[in-house]
Amino acid sequence: MSVDVMSDDRMQTTGATRSAAVTAPDRAALRVRLEETRAAFHRLLEASTGERWRAKSPTTDWTRGEVLVHLTWSLEELPREIESARRGKGMYNLPKWLAEPGSYWLNRWLARKSDPVSVRRRYDAAMDAALAALESVPDSDWDKGAAFYGHGFHSVRDLFDAPAEHLAEHAQGWNS
């Protein structure tokens, strides 16, 4: 019996997994985590109305409103990322020197006409799409993935954890 052992680099390139036995995550737990993320986002949004919408974020050079638009856009991309990861194809793997300023200016542009009402509507639609994507992933695909955002390999499973992690990253210090 021959065993094909892949290097981590080859796995990242092909989207392959180490084992044919894939253990699907607890969808109910993922659903709860995504809904908790939605509730946390709503709390940040409610705390960012009026003058606070245009106030500087404590975690970036963006305003609070721009951060909320960034988080929304990121969640809107999740279903496409999931489909791409399932095919072993990454997304947004630009050099850091291009990606970071590009992201900064793109989000400033996207946020220029946004307000809490429009962002909440977009975020909720994006979360509903993410929850639908969660239900569409076959048990065999959870460990498939690819390189994303210039940050290395992300499995389908990792991508569903990203909204909560991303929100936590940007929400630090917002209560002060």
- Structural domain boundaries, residue 128: 22-171
- Asked if 56 and 63 count as a contact pair (C-beta separation under 8 A), the reply is yes
| Per-residue pLDDT tens digits for 38-76 | 999 999 999 999 999 999 998 888 999 999 999 999 999
Using an 8 Å Cβ cutoff, are 95 and 150 in contact? yes
The answer to whether position 176 is within a domain reads no
Does 101 map to a domain?
yes
Q: What is the pLDDT of residues 118-135, one digit of tens each?
A: 999 999 999 999 999 999
Is residue 12 assigned to a domain? no
Instruction: Reply yes or no on whether the pLDDT at 15 is more than 70.
Output: no
Q: How far apart are alpha carbons 172 and 13 in whole angstroms?
A: 34
Q: What is the pLDDT of residue 174?
A: 84
Residue 13 lies in a domain: no
Render 40-81 in DSSP notation, one character per residue. HHHHHHHTT-GGGGGSBPSSSSSBHHHHHHHHHHHHHHHHHH
Whichever domain contains 167, its CATH number is 1.20.120.450
Give residue 91's pLDDT.
80
2 is a domain residue: no
Whether the predicted model's global pTM rises above the 0.85 cut? no
Contact 71, 64 (CB under 8 A): no
Look at the chain and report how many structural domains it folds into: 1
The span from the CA of 72 to the CA of 41, in Å, is 9
pLDDT given at position 21 = 57
Q: What share of the chain is helix, strand, coil (3-state, %, to 5)?
A: 65, 5, 30
Task: Look up residue 94 and give its two tokens.
Answer: 């630009």
Q: Does residue 134 form part of some domain?
A: yes
Does the residue 150 lie in any domain?
A: yes
Q: What percent of the chain has pLDDT over 90?
A: 63
Q: How confident is the model at residue 116 (pLDDT cuts 50, 70, 90)?
A: very high
